[in-house]
Amino acid sequence: MAVQINPSILSADFSRLAEEAKAVEGADWLHVDVMDNHFVPNLTLGVPIVESLSRATDIPLDCHLMIEDADRWAPQYVEAGAGSVTFHAEACAAPVRTAREIRAKGARASMALKPATPIEPYEDLLPELDMLLIMTVEPGFGGQAFLDIMLPKIRRTRELISKHGLELWLQVDGGVSASTIERCAEAGADVFVAGSAVYGTDDPAAAVRMLRDQATGATTAAGWACDH
Ligand SMILES: O=C(CO)[C@@H](O)[C@H](O)COP(=O)(O)O
Ligand SMILES: [Fe+2]
């Protein structure tokens, strides 16, 4: 399968979420940023809105939990209809148990790393996950500038995935746009979250197609196969 483009509804109009989901038809997943004003200094939405959104769109929901006490909350987002649930390593006391619980309830389990959190301590945990998210901005807000100092971490993570022969997807989130997506793809990312670069344009569906073309081209040129 090809690279995946996941528009982030953080940059959409929250009063028209169902329509905003329709505006990105063709996207692989809809990225839903859940923030609790504790783990990050911003507050967005929670379980009831995820439940409503999952009924309003056929695009599967990729829930990115930027919340404390992720162990307790993550399974509730699966029950609310998320197809993929990402908890932060920094907010999770029992990542193996939580990942297993997410999978047991039928969703994909994913773990996110803030920019200052290294991947190396989590190497042995990777087989428990379906996706790893490398933040390329400090979590909390859309529209921030891409941190290109994260590129070596993306590269090292791709090497670990290859070394262990894992099927793990590698997602990047934050500042992903037409001017940064190729560098992410070349470094080894295969799932791309884009908020302002999609919803900040007049034609969000066309933006998704353009980002997909760019990422596919860079992945092919880099010579590593995206095999999911
Ligand atoms: O998780 C986050 C921010 O914390 C992201 O998902 C943003 O919503 C991405 O927005 P852009 O940087 O693409 O505008
Ligand atoms: Fe996100």
- Residues around ligand 2, an ion, CB closer than 5 A: 33, 64, 173
State how far the Cα of 228 lies from the Cα of 221, in Å rounded to an integer.
Answer: 18
State how far the Cα of 54 lies from the Cα of 168, in Å rounded to an integer.
Answer: 24
Q: Please tell me whether 162 is known to bind a ligand.
A: no
For residue 82, how far is its CA from the centre of ligand 1 (angstroms)? 18
Here the ipTM equals 0.99
Single pTM value for the model? 0.97
Q: Please tell me whether 83 is known to bind a ligand.
A: no
State how far the Cα of 184 lies from the Cα of 169, in Å rounded to an integer.
Answer: 13
The finding on whether 26 has its CB within 6 A of some atom of ligand 1 is no
Q: Which CATH architecture has domain 4-227?
A: Alpha-Beta Barrel (3.20)
Q: Tell me what pLDDT residue 223 has.
A: 84
For residue 202, how far is its CA from the centre of ligand 1 (angstroms)? 18
Q: Tell me what pLDDT residue 21 has.
A: 98
Please check whether residue 152 is in contact with residue 159, taking contact to mean a CB–CB distance below 8 angstroms. Answer: no
For residue 10, how far is its CA from the centre of ligand 2 (angstroms)? 8
The finding on whether 188 has its CB within 6 A of some atom of ligand 1 is no
Q: State percent of the chain over pLDDT 70.
A: 97
The finding on whether 42 has its CB within 6 A of some atom of ligand 1 is no
Residue positions annotated with a catalytic role: 33, 173
pLDDT tens track for 1-32 = 589 999 999 999 999 999 999 999 999 999 99
Taking the CA of 40 as reference, the closest ligand is 1
Taking the CA of 141 as reference, the closest ligand is 1
Output phi, psi for 73, to 5 deg.
-90, -30
Query: Which of 53, 35, 49 has its CA nearest to residue 112?
Result: 35
Domain spans in the chain, listed from the N-terminal domain onward: 4-227
pLDDT tens track for 160-202 = 999 999 999 999 999 999 999 999 999 999 999 999 999 999 9
Sheet holding 61-66, edge to edge: 4-7, 191-194, 169-173, 131-135, 108-113, 84-88, 61-66, 30-35
State how far the Cα of 34 lies from the Cα of 84, in Å rounded to an integer.
Answer: 13
The DSSP secondary structure of the chain, one letter per residue, reads ---EEEEBGGGS-GGGHHHHHHTTTT-S-EEEEEEBSSSSS-B---HHHHHHHHHH-SSPEEEEEE-S-HHHHHHHHHHTT-SEEEEEGGG-S-HHHHHHHHHHTTSEEEEEE-TTS-SGGGGGGGGG-SEEEEESS-TT-SSPPP-GGGHHHHHHHHHHHHHTT---EEEEESS-STTTHHHHHHHT--EEEESHHHHTSS-HHHHHHHHHHHHHHHHHHHT-----
